[in-house]
Amino acid sequence: MKKGVILLWRTLVYSAFFQLLFDFPGAVYSLVPGAVTALVLSTTKVSDLMLIDYTAYRSPLRRIEGLYKLIFFLFCLLLSISRVSGRFSLSLFLFQAILMIGPGKVPLKRYLRFLEAPVMFLLMGAIGIALELDVFPLTVSVSQASFFRAQEVTRTALCAISCLYSLSLSTPLNQLMQTLRKIKIPERMIELMIVLYRYIFVLFTMYYPMKRALIMRGGNNLRGHGMLWSSLFKRSYERADHSMRSMLSRGYDGSVQFLSVPVATARGLLPMLVGMALVLAGAWLL
């Protein structure tokens, strides 16, 4: 029963989202309930975050030179935010999805699961763009111009998100850090990225057991949540201190090093050039 309700809610979210991309004024009638449902479903699980890492390390595309992937996906990202056309944005999104599901070997169900969070976020954000509020007299309406503006922003954002997902689902963290060092990104910035990425997992792995314990003890109220967050802050601070001491005892000198799988330098150059040519042709024709 519970799975059927969740499936129904997700169907409502995706139907509202795709109507937002393609239809007016039909989307107006499903935009608000779809966004409300998205707000209810917009939860992030630590398993989803770990699944991104797992998928990147299992992807056949990880053996392609990281610098080529970074150039290609940043090139697609720049074209996606240049607002060439709505058809090009949707075509580039489909191209990225096919690239990840095909050569990248990402299961379709898992890829859709990764897209759930940004789809919900974009759906809720589209309401703020599409709705027009007049104070005197107090009226709320959706005009054709405001809806098309929300449609354009949503298409552009979805295309940009797909480019970033393609990079993260095909490039493990160690390869990405190695690539950033090659292009002379400052070491302090790289270290900050590693620490932030690491402590996202630390916070989530501490938060969920504490939240389950709170619910089981009947403390799921304002006071209980206040105690939860204060305890989480204290424990995360202690965990950070312990981690820093562990790193210093292992010879940490200000630079975090990774073991990486060696790749052929020229591997991936031809696919990158072909892909860039296809993307440019799509931007020109669409």
Task: Provide the residue-wise pLDDT of the chain in tens; the chain has 286 residues.
Answer: 556 656 666 666 666 666 677 665 556 555 656 665 555 555 545 456 678 888 888 888 888 888 888 888 888 888 888 766 777 888 888 888 888 888 888 888 888 888 877 887 787 777 777 777 666 676 666 777 777 888 888 888 888 888 888 888 888 888 888 888 888 888 888 888 887 777 777 777 787 788 788 888 777 777 777 787 788 888 888 887 887 788 788 777 767 776 666 665 666 677 777 777 777 777 666 6
Count of structural domains within the chain: 1
Q: What angle do CA 117, 118, 119 make, to 5 degrees?
A: 90
pLDDT of 171 reads 86
Q: Whats the size of the chain, residue-wise?
A: 286
Tell how strand 139-142 and strand 131-134 pair up: antiparallel
Q: Is the dihedral of CA 235, 236, 240, 241 positive or negative?
A: negative
Half-sphere exposure of 236 (CA within 13 A, CB side): 19
Residue 207, in any domain of the structure: yes
Helix, strand, or coil here: 134? strand
Residue 240, in any domain of the structure: yes
pLDDT of 204 reads 75
Residue 213, in any domain of the structure: yes
Interaxial angle between packed helices 2-22 and 144-170, expressed in degrees from 0 to 180 and rounded to the nearest 10: 120
φ and ψ of 214, to 5 deg: -65, -45
- Find out whether 95 and 77 touch, Cβ atoms under 8 Å: no
pTM of the predicted model as reported, rounded to 2 decimal places: 0.74
pLDDT of 29 reads 55
User: Could you say which DSSP state residue 34 is in?
Assistant: H
Residue 221, in any domain of the structure: yes
- Listed residue (190, 198, 284) closest to 236, CA to CA: 198
Residue 203, in any domain of the structure: yes
pLDDT of 149 reads 83
Helix or strand (DSSP H, E) at 73: helix 66-80
CA dist., res. 126 & res. 122, Å (int): 6
- Listed residue (80, 89, 283, 258) closest to 171, CA to CA: 258
* Domain span holding position 191: 186-255
113, two tokens:
């699961």
- Listed residue (161, 189, 160, 183) closest to 66, CA to CA: 183
